[in-house]
Chains A and B, each alone.
Chain A
Amino acid sequence: MAARVRALETILTRKGLIDPAAIDVIVDTYETKVGPRNGAAVVAKAWSEPDFAEWLKRDATAAIASLGFTGRQGEHMQAVFNTDETHNLVVCTLCSCYPWSVLGLPPVWYKAPPYRSRAVIDPRGVLEEFGLSLPKDKKIRVWDSTAELRYLVVPQRPAGTEGWREERLADLVTRDSMIGTGVAREAA
């Protein structure tokens, strides 16, 4: 596959159709600039500021853009909030739709058949494989991203974090907790 990709890049570059330096910038963007730290900042702010949480619930695209996170695969955002009653889980059964602007590039498992096939029929079994065991009576809501809306799960705020600054709170917000395959870290 390495040779096949190189051939395609070579052909397109020699024909003047793509700029290999643009590829370098794209790779650098998703390796160093756009990643789950963005989403963690959104969640930490929602935990800290009820007004922001309300805005995020009502118009996630605008609320998230106010923190500077916009763009490709985050054009139309929807935030879904975990509660004592309901746990949210996000999947794309048809391809690999994922909120790049807040979580970066998706992990391999998110794009692979085991997760995509089972998240909608056996989410509890899937969550067990992530080490997450939900109470039997907890409701699960699975969001299949079949259109251009991109979903961000807002995990529940861990106990014992009253008065924490947003930066410290953000450290508790894992990528998986924003997909719904995990929960936020406990306060150390």
Chain B
Amino acid sequence: MNGPHDLGGQMGFGPVAPEKDEPYFHSEWEKRALGVTLTAGAMGAWNIDESRHARECLHPADYYASSYYEIWIKALEQLVKRHNFVTANDLAASDAVDTAAKPKRVLKAENVPAVLAKGGPCDRPVAVPVRFAVGQRVRTRNFHPTGHTRLPRYARGKEGVIDAVREGFVFPDTNAHGRGENPQWLYTVAFTAGELWGEGADPTLEVSIDAWESYLEPA
């Protein structure tokens, strides 16, 4: 979707303002927000693509007014409601009022190190041969799906070159919506700044994205 999250090339947000000796957390609630997000995700009811899409679906005014942990929590509220773990009644009471769906698993403290160390690999075997080769010129598709996609707007309909052929990876555009993993070959595609940004682009700049095969057509 052309949501508030798709930020590449947008203007008006001001300077980056890096913070010297930035702490990992700026308040206690941020620690709990990280932990609640990860432990709730560990129930196994949704995947990383669905959680990313939930964040993208925040209203743009809300998205831009929120810190990243705030975005996480607002999206998590939607996810736990959608999957019947928490109801509007629960949230209104700030307490467990209604019964919850049964989770696939509950992450216990003693299992956290193993679960974090294992992560969630997204590489998958792909049945079809690779379509593009390193050095080949390709054009990204120009599409505007209303659902989840990982092809940013600034890189749609652009001509680039295959920089690397990666592995097969879970396809987020379907996986985010419960329509299956449908793994595809993934490629790193490099573009000149001139192709992406046109007049006045930095001649020394090249930008790459990681693109699933169905985002690409031969140039």
Chain A contacts for B206, CB-based, 8 A? 139-142
A165 at the interface (CB under 8 A from B): no
**Is A84 part of the binding interface, using a Cβ–Cβ cutoff of 8 Å?**
no
Question: Could you count the A-B residue pairs with CB atoms below 8 Å apart for me: how many are there?
Answer: 272
How many Å lie between the Cα of A111 and that of B39 in the bound state?
Answer: 21
State whether A11 and B91 are in contact (beta carbons under 8 Å apart), knowing that A30-B34, A70-B117 are contacts in the complex.
Answer: yes
Distance in angstroms from B15 CB to nearest chain A CB is 5
The verdict on A112 contacting B106 (CB below 8 Å), with A5-B29, A10-B96, A120-B9 known, is no
A1 within 8 A of B: yes
B210 in contact with A146 (CB, 8 Å):
yes
Assess whether A108 is in contact with B208, with CB atoms less than 8 Å apart: no
Q: Does B179 contact A (CB under 8 A)?
A: no
Q: B-facing mask of A107-141, CB < 8 A → 1, else 0? A: 11101111111111111101001100000111111
**Per a CB cutoff under 8 Å, which of B22, B106, B116, B172 touches A19?**
B106
B207/A24 in contact, CB under 8 A: no
CA of A35 to CA of B25, assembled, Å: 13
Q: CB distance A8 to B76 under 8 Å?
A: yes
Q: How many residues of B contact A (CB 8 A)?
A: 94
Beyond A5-B36, A19-B106, A144-B207, whether A109 also contacts B19 by CB under 8 A is yes
A166 at the interface (CB under 8 A from B): no
| B62 CB within 8 Å of chain A | no
Is A71 in contact with B118, judged by CB distance below 8 angstroms? yes
- A120 to B201 alpha-carbon distance, docked (Å): 11
- The answer to whether B8 touches A19 (Cβ under 8 A) is no
| A147–B186 touching, CB < 8 Å | yes
A187 interface contact, C-beta 8 A:
no
Q: Is A73 an interface residue (CB 8 A)?
A: yes
Flag if B123 contacts A140 (CB, 8 Å): no
List residues of chain B with CB within 8 A of the CB of A159.
none
A residues near B120, Cβ cutoff 8 Å: 72, 75
A67 at the interface (CB under 8 A from B): no
B31 interface neighbour in A17, A27, A115, A145, Cβ under 8 Å: A27
Q: Is the CB of B122 within 8 A of A71?
A: no
> Which residues 142-183 of A sit at the B interface, judged by CB distance below 8 A?
142-149, 176, 181
Interface centre among A15, A29, A76, A149 (most CB of B within 10 A): A15
Mask: chain B, 140-182; 1 = CB below 8 Å from A; 0 = not: 0000000000111011000000000011011010000000000
Verify A118–B96 contact, CB threshold 8 A: no
B138 on interface, CB distance cutoff 8 Å: no
With contacts A22-B112, A75-B121, A124-B202 taken as known, whether A1 is within 8 angstroms of B73 at the C-beta atoms is yes
A76–B106 CB distance below 8 A: no
Distance between B20 CB and nearest chain A CB, rounded to angstroms: 11
Which residues on A are within 8 Å of B, measured CB to CB?
1-12, 14-27, 29-31, 34-35, 70-76, 93-96, 101, 104-105, 107-109, 111-124, 126, 129-130, 136-149, 176, 181
With A119-B8, A122-B202, A143-B208 given, name 18 new contacts (CB 8 A): A6-B29, A6-B94, A12-B85, A18-B43, A18-B107, A19-B109, A23-B34, A30-B34, A71-B117, A72-B120, A116-B7, A124-B202, A126-B16, A140-B204, A140-B205, A144-B210, A145-B210, A148-B123
Q: Which 3 A-B pairs have the closest CB atoms?
A: A23-B35, A147-B210, A93-B8
